[in-house]
Amino acid sequence: MNRMYFADNQQKQKAFDRCYGQMATSHFKQGRKLRALINQEAAEEALTEQMAKLYASSNAKQHEYDYDEVSKKLRGKVDKPVDHSKGPK
């Protein structure tokens, strides 16, 4: 009778260990997926902010030079004229 009791406990322990191992593996995988998702969302948010800053700076530069919307010509004076005589560097 004692042998049967030990076998039952051993089977219960093996089943518990197997279940606990699967649960721990599942939690580990879910944690890795969650961290990857958080990192991806943070990267997308940073990219969105960077694109917004770039767009805002390009709009600010366009207004700096004061373009005429009808003729698409420059009305204001540019501080540093571009010297095309030097050629590419």
One digit per residue, pLDDT tens: the chain, 89 residues? 344 444 677 788 888 888 889 898 899 899 999 999 999 999 999 999 999 998 888 776 655 555 556 666 655 555 565 566 665 55
Q: Is residue 55 part of a domain?
A: yes
Instruction: Report CA-CA distances (Å) from 40 to 25, 27, 69, 72.
Output: 22, 20, 40, 41
Domain that holds residue 49: 40-72
Longest dimension (CA), the chain: 103
Q: Is residue 15 part of a domain?
A: no
First to last CA, the chain: 93
The two tokens of residue 48 are 């969105």
Domain count, the chain: 1
Instruction: Report CA-CA distances (Å) from 49 to 43, 45, 56, 73.
Output: 10, 6, 10, 31
Give this prediction's pTM. Answer: 0.45
